[in-house]
Amino acid sequence: MLSPSLQRTSSATLANSALLRDVWRASELSRGTTSTVTTGHSILDGELPGNGWPLSTFTELLVQQAGIGEMHLLRPVLAQLSQHRRIALVQPPYLPNSAACKFMDLSCPNLLWIRAPSTADALWSTEQILRNGSCGAVLLWQSNMRDEALRRLNLAAQTTETFFWLVRPMSAAADASPAPLRLALRPAAGGISTHIIKRRGPHHEAPLFIPLADMPARQRFLDDQNAVLVQRTPPTVASRMPQAALV
């Protein structure tokens, strides 16, 4: 049996070890305890802490405009998740296109489209989904957000085993954000240009080119034309929940 002094030393050592896992050198990528899953793009995996998309973490995608390939960037992880868990699409800029969803190998019965009447309702819905863990992933599209709202979503993301991506305009890149990972996405011939503007690790200078050869020309996941909504369902999160539909 350990003496009280040795027990205290052992406890302190364990506490320090746990703390050190969340500390990293500025010149190195973080090797913290956050679980990750591969992005499906090896060039991007090699530049992200944990070599993939972080779970239970707030990730920002800053886009020049909607539909430049951001959904195809997420395709590998979303296709896998949608086979056994729901994916919530909150306030997308266009109606989800069911034909494009099938092309991307997404299971349409597990895609939940949420249309909120206001920004406050969209943020509330996202926070509730994150906190109750009902979905494997949540994507939220928003333009203007207050610091308080960002902090609330960041805290909510840490409480559940859910992937969370916030899609915002490129102009938000200059704004402060609690998101540990922020990517700026721009269209590029044959793929997408990705600039890592924030990560737990050294500053990343040059943008990465990620080929998206399977992205068909003129075919977007979010499309204001030829959109098909298959089934409408009642609210499931709470009474304040905006209209939701299965894609």
The string of pLDDT tens digits covering residues 110-166 is: 999 999 999 999 999 999 999 999 999 999 999 989 999 999 999 999 999 999 999
- Written as six digits, the tokens of 142 are 């928003």
User: Model confidence over 7-44: pLDDT tens digits?
Assistant: 555 555 544 544 445 554 554 455 666 789 999 999 99
Under the banding of pLDDT at 50, 70 and 90, the label for residue 247 is: low
Predicted TM-score of the model (pTM): 0.78
pLDDT value of residue 245: 58
Burial 93-122 (b: 16+ CB within 10 A, else e): eebbbbebbebbebbbebbbbbbbeeeebb
Under the banding of pLDDT at 50, 70 and 90, the label for residue 237 is: very low
Residue 246 has pLDDT above 70, yes or no: no
* Angle (CA) 173 178 182, round 5°: 45
Phi, psi of 57 (to 5 degrees): -140, 150
| Domains identified in the chain and CATH numbers | 35-59+69-246 (3.40.50.300)
Q: Cβ distance 49 to 201 under 8 Å?
A: yes
DSSP, collapsed to helix, strand or coil, labels residue 46 as coil
Phi, psi of 202 (to 5 degrees): -65, 155
d(CA 196, CA 183): 5
- More reliable by pLDDT, 121 or 214: 121
Q: Considering Cα of 246, then 101, then 209, then 41, what sign does the dihedral take?
A: positive
